[in-house]
Amino acid sequence: MTATHRPVPPHRPGPVAVVTGAGSGIGRAVARLMLAEGYRVVLAGRREAPLLESAAGHRQALTVPCDVTVSDDVERLFAAALGKWGRVDVLFNNAGVFGPAASVDEISVADWDAVVAVNLTGSMLCAAAAVRAMKAQEPQGGRIINNGSISAHSPRPRTVAYTVTKHAMTGLTKSIELDGRGFGITCGQIDIGNTATDIMGAIGVDSGALQADGSRRVEPTFPVQDAARAVLLMAGMPPSASVGSVVITAAGMPFIGRG
């Protein structure tokens, strides 16, 4: 009796994810983890060299230099994703800046506008382009994950611009989730506290971060790869489920009862 072989099913390509701010920090960790898990990933950021470093030559990576504050750049980013792979399944809206240390009476209008442009307007532009793509594709739908911050719940001293934009991100997240219902589009927000990235060093977490009582305190951090795992969990949920909000912090950091 001659043995017969069942045909091997063709490899099913992974979902397509767009990751902004992918040249460093959380964005780099998320992009690399998604690539390792079989996603096709479009890595976006202002500078090409860090994006190429994040992609590390992976065959399922596409690097697209992009300034998220420039609408033409954002449209070009999503056109590149669609041109390469024909759809967008996930957007990790991650690009952001901390801005200067300042209270409301100290910050300049120029500095305020610069933080709002990246953290809020840039996130809106990317979400808008992603939603248009997700509405038009077949099968329809997708998932947007906005990177908020624990500052969306409890601010640090002298972070007025950053804190306001992260509170506004929560409104953006809820509006996208509501308006996307009829199109299979879900939107959630991840609020991360004290993952070990360069921005934490910039605000003194590892040397003494300013506390609400005016003191400075060295705060615990946790590996950025663990934050990436939380994003991956949100991204990989089935279309029947929406993760609206995730808060992940370093154990023992001054967040609950901050200050």
The residues assigned a catalytic role are 162
Query: At 225, which helix (H) or strand (E)?
Result: helix 224-235
Phi and psi angles of residue 224, each rounded to the nearest 5 degrees, phi first: -60, -25
Q: What is the distance between the alpha carbons of residues 31 and 21, in angstroms, rounded to a whole number?
A: 10
Q: b/e string for 15-34 if b means 16 or more Cβ within 10 A? A: bbbbbbbbbbbbbbbbbbbb
Cα-based distances in Å from 168 to 146, 175, 177: 11, 11, 14
Quick one: which of 103, 127, 132, 143 has its CA closest to 17?
143
Q: What is the distance between the alpha carbons of residues 31 and 185, in angstroms, rounded to a whole number?
A: 21
Phi and psi angles of residue 179, each rounded to the nearest 5 degrees, phi first: -75, -20
Q: What is the distance between the alpha carbons of residues 14 and 61, in angstroms, rounded to a whole number?
A: 12
Half-sphere exposure of 79 (CA within 13 A, CB side): 8
Cα-based distances in Å from 16 to 82, 134, 144, 183, 208: 9, 11, 12, 18, 40
Angle at alpha carbon of residue 128, lines to 176 and 193, rounded to 5°: 60
